[in-house]
Amino acid sequence: MSNQPIPLSHFAPTHSSEVGKLVNETQQFIAHLSEKGGPDPSDYLMLNTLLQNFSEEKTQSMVSEAQLQKLREAFGDALSPETIQGWAYQQPLGYAGDFKIIEKIYNYERSPVHKLAKWDDFFHSQKAPKAVRNRLSLFLDQLWKTKMAHPSGTQILNVASGPGRDMYEALKVLGASDLRIDCVEQDSHAIDFAKTLCQEFHQNINFIHKNIFRFFTDTTYHLIWSAGLFDYFNDNLFKRTIRKLAKSLKPNGRMVIGNFSPDNPDRGYMELCNWKLIHRSKEHLAQLARECGFEDHQIQVEQEPEGINLFLVITN
């Protein structure tokens, strides 16, 4: 049987009583899965179809906090930090999208608790974590292009560097060359982790423990990269940060900013797990860049193969 979800139009509720039915049906199915030790691949079609209803803006606006709570309770232990979805929900480091969850996604981590591991298999089968993993090759591609264009003294700024997995994988391919990456990261635990992971490339990477809003530099960069950060910013903060970073671009330098697309089918599931992002379309991202003073010929929007993570590319 295919795991493609049944089109939403079959289900999408239009009245609050239909939403009530959907919540009940979803709650019962999740509780059933939790009782039997997590979803098997044969359950994914039904679970995806039910959860994807909650990605619909119209449905979301009709679901109450009490109904969301009811759905969360149905997960039981599957919403403890022993699972990735539970890590997202509980936020043990105190904020959403911490370096550990990203590292769990990159590494296809599976809960050591036997009865919960199937929930992680389900999580990893979703498009959103696939899109996160696709960042690795996109980052490598950007680094490669930048290094080819500026073979000596390549300067890169990595904003919100997290676990550093993208740098580690890219530098393994590119080799320790004449390339320098400055990383701005607010979480000292993330920096400690990334320093250990990227130990063999310590001459290439410089970590700066700072909130990006308090980071000022005279250095200019060939490439400024940021993934997994701007989706948490409202439009004003997004633009303020772009304008600020743009001052640190070299002539012809490139800024690449990741943001989840509204086409993310896992939005409902993620929000159920308290992982709230601001999803932006290609048009929306381009418009924000225009409002920062960039012209159309300087703006492009790229995407990874899933089409879920978009990348606003601004050329100076």
Sites of contact with ligand SAM (CB under 6 A)? 97-99, 102, 135, 160-162, 165-166, 184-187, 190, 211-213, 227-229
Toward ligand SAM, which CB reaches closer, 74 or 184?
184
Q: How far is the CB of 135 from ligand SAM (least distance, A)?
A: 5
How far, in Å, CA of 30 to CA of 48, rounded? Answer: 11
Total length of the chain? 316
Least distance CB 3 / ligand SAM (angstroms): 26
Residue 172 CA from chain centroid, whole number: 23
Let me know: does 182 contact 219? Beta carbons within 8 Å.
Answer: yes
Q: Name the residue nearer to ligand SAM (CB basis): 12 or 197.
A: 197
**Radius of gyration over every alpha carbon of the chain, rounded to an integer in angstroms:** 21
Contacts 24+ apart (CB under 8 A), 206-215: 206/180, 206/181, 206/182, 207/161, 207/183, 208/182, 208/183, 208/184, 209/185, 210/184, 210/185, 210/186, 211/186, 212/159, 212/160, 212/184, 212/186, 212/241, 213/241, 215/184
In the bound state with ligand SAM, the residue whose beta carbon lies nearer, of 32 and 247, is 247
Q: Which residue is nearest to ligand SAM (CB)?
A: 162
* Nearest approach, Cβ of residue 261 and ligand SAM (Å): 16
Least distance (Å) between residue 208 CB and ligand SAM: 9
Q: How far is the CB of 139 from ligand SAM (least distance, A)?
A: 8
Closest-CA residue to 219 (of 184, 191, 194): 184
Q: Judged by CB, which is closer to ligand SAM: 97, or 253?
A: 97
> Residue 31 or residue 233: which is nearer to ligand SAM going by CB?
233
**Burial class, 178, CB count within 10 angstroms (exposed 0-12 / middle 13-18 / buried 19+):** exposed
In whole angstroms, how close is the CB of 230 to ligand SAM at the nearest point? 10
Residue closer to ligand SAM by CB (options 19, 306) is: 306
